[in-house]
Amino acid sequence: MMKASAKSIGFDVLVNGKRVCRALRAKRGVVSVIVTTVRRPHHKNDDLKGDLTLEVGGYFTDKAKASHLPKWVNNTLEIGDEISIRIIKAASGTPPKEERVEAAQEVQQLEAQYLEAVARKYGWVKKGESRKRTKRNHA
């Protein structure tokens, strides 16, 4: 069970009456429950396998400004499944099945690469040219 420093707000998520997780929000963070249906253009029949999903995930940063992306649930659903979400306040929850951690420097580097790609796409920077940080343009 995941321990919170004090009681935290979160969700008990149940599928067909069975609890699949108790996801708690970090002191400063986000927890979300997303139910998705997708109709992909290449499907020729009503086979919905993989097109109905339940995701329970979150986001928070630590003192070192690293980004944490916990994921409790990433399940395929079936027609007729019943999803229940109970809002709770608890001291402990289910540990995430996985958690991606991105160091602050890594996040900054990814953001810079994305910004560079967007700038090139819209012609704000010519090919071969690079936007270097300077005190003048990033005051």
Instruction: State the residue for tokens 């329970």.
Output: 56
* Predicted pLDDT of residue 58: 96
What pTM does this model have?
0.70
| Cα four-point dihedral sign 61, 67, 73, 74 | positive
Residue whose C-alpha is closest to residue 49's, from 78, 12, 70: 78
Per-domain residue ranges of the chain: 2-102, 104-139
* Predicted pLDDT of residue 1: 45
d(CA 35, CA 17): 16
| Cα four-point dihedral sign 84, 89, 94, 100 | positive
Exposure of 72 by Cβ count < 10 A (0-12 exposed, 13-18 middle, 19+ buried)? buried
pLDDT along the chain (139 residues), means of 10: 70 98 92 90 63 94 88 95 97 94 84 90 74 51
* Predicted pLDDT of residue 125: 73
